[in-house]
């Protein structure tokens, strides 16, 4: 589909008639794979599997030919790894003192402090439905000021150690030395939701890559150029896929015009638990995610929603403050 970013967004966002998906690039099915260039990475740090990842030798990494620096890692997670990180996104990352959009809405105060605790405790199905559709984002580490599009030292909390180490491993394998995760935005997408076209330019170090990890339902990810008049490419992202925006693609327009249904539930596939878990990981949560009774509400959420974990470095070099 050869069209500019604005036209492509409108095309894939529409509901009636439903858009033709034959133009999507899909690293899983091989659809339009002539747009993808295989990438080989030789760096493989120790203890990779301790973070819910497959061995790097099994990873399939591609670069989008018409968008240099846009990398796609085809689901490098084990099913148990997907469960752990999805649970972290829902159970822990929307908790106070992290920021969420719920703090600006007329919802019970307990839900604003602990979304998942309140969500799973209430028996009121109407309240659960409202909460599920209301939660749209949570921020970690440096909290982004959406109005002024800046980060400040006053709006900052400790960054999760397990997520810091996970992205450090990804950066090392992809040869991005000295990468340090310092801020994250967790986006929550109920069916029917979208993310409008934008660029990410609030960080001081714009040379550092952005890591974007998907869990749950599929999504159409649209990547264009530095102008909305530039041609755009649409990717179909599946649960566990990782998109890396680096080099030329780092400041390009991107968007999510549509959430797609995927009934595969790869996070529920048969799996063998990792024998050694990294010290930064929450071992208790990891073990609980293997229990059907504990995992069931997370599973229900993922069956019709998508989670996107977007991680970035804020500071330049070895700087410790803004």
Residue pair 161/187 in contact (Cβ under 8 Å)? The answer is no
Token representation of residue 154: 């006053």
Name residues whose C-beta falls within 8 Å of residue 235's C-beta, 6 or more positions apart in sequence: 24, 25, 26, 27, 64, 72, 220, 221, 222, 223, 243
The angle at the Cα of 31, spanning 225 to 84, to the nearest 5 degrees, equals: 80
* Interatomic CA distance for residues 198 and 220, integer angstroms: 15
Whose tokens are 């890396």? That residue is: 244
| The 3-state secondary structure of 181-242, one letter per residue | CCEEEEEEEECCCCEEEECCCCCCCCCCCEEEEEEECEEEEEECCCCCCCECEEEEECCCCE
| Residue 184: closest CA among 285, 288, 88 | 88
* Interatomic CA distance for residues 26 and 33, integer angstroms: 7
Residue pair 184/312 in contact (Cβ under 8 Å)? The answer is yes
Would you list which residues are annotated within the binding site?
198, 200, 254
Would you list which residues are annotated within the binding site for Fe cation?
198, 200, 254
| Residue 255: closest CA among 285, 224, 284 | 224
* Interatomic CA distance for residues 68 and 70, integer angstroms: 6
């Amino acid at each position: 589909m050869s069209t500019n970013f604005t036209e492509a967004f409108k095309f894939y966002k529409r509901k009636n008639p439903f858009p033709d998906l034959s133009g999507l690039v899909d690293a899983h099915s091989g659809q339009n794979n002539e747009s993808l260039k295989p990438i080989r990475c030789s760096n493989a740090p120790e203890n990779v599997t301790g973070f819910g990842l497959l061995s790097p030798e099994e990873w399939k990494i591609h670069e989008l030919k018409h968008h240099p620096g846009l990398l796609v890692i085809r689901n490098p997670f084990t099913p148990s790894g997907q469960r752990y990180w999805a649970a972290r996104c829902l159970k822990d990352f929307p908790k106070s003192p992290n920021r969420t959009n719920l703090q600006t809405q007329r919802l019970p105060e307990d839900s604003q402090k602990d979304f998942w605790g309140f969500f799973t405790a209430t028996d009121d199905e109407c309240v659960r439905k409202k909460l599920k559709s209301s939660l749209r984002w949570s921020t970690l580490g440096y909290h982004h000021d959406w109005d002024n599009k800046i980060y400040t030292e006053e709006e900052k909390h400790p960054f999760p150690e397990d997520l810091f180490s996970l992205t450090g491993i990804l950066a090392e394998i992809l040869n991005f030395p000295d990468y340090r995760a310092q801020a994250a935005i967790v986006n929550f997408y109920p069916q029917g939701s979208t993310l409008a076209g934008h660029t990410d330019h609030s960080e001081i170090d714009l040379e550092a890559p952005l890591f974007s990890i998907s869990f749950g339902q599929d999504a159409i990810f649209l990547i264009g150029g530095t102008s909305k008049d530039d041609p755009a490419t649409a990717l179909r992202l599946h649960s566990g896929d990782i998109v890396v925006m680096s080099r030329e693609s780092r400041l390009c327009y991107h968007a999510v015009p549509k959430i797609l249904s995927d009934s595969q539930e790869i996070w529920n596939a048969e799996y063998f638990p990792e024998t050694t878990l990294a010290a930064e990981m929450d071992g208790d949560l990891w073990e609980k995610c293997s229990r059907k009774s504990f995992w069931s509400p997370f599973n229900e959420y993922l069956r019709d929603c998508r989670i996107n974990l977007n991680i970035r470095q804020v500071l330049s070099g070895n700087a410790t403050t803004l």
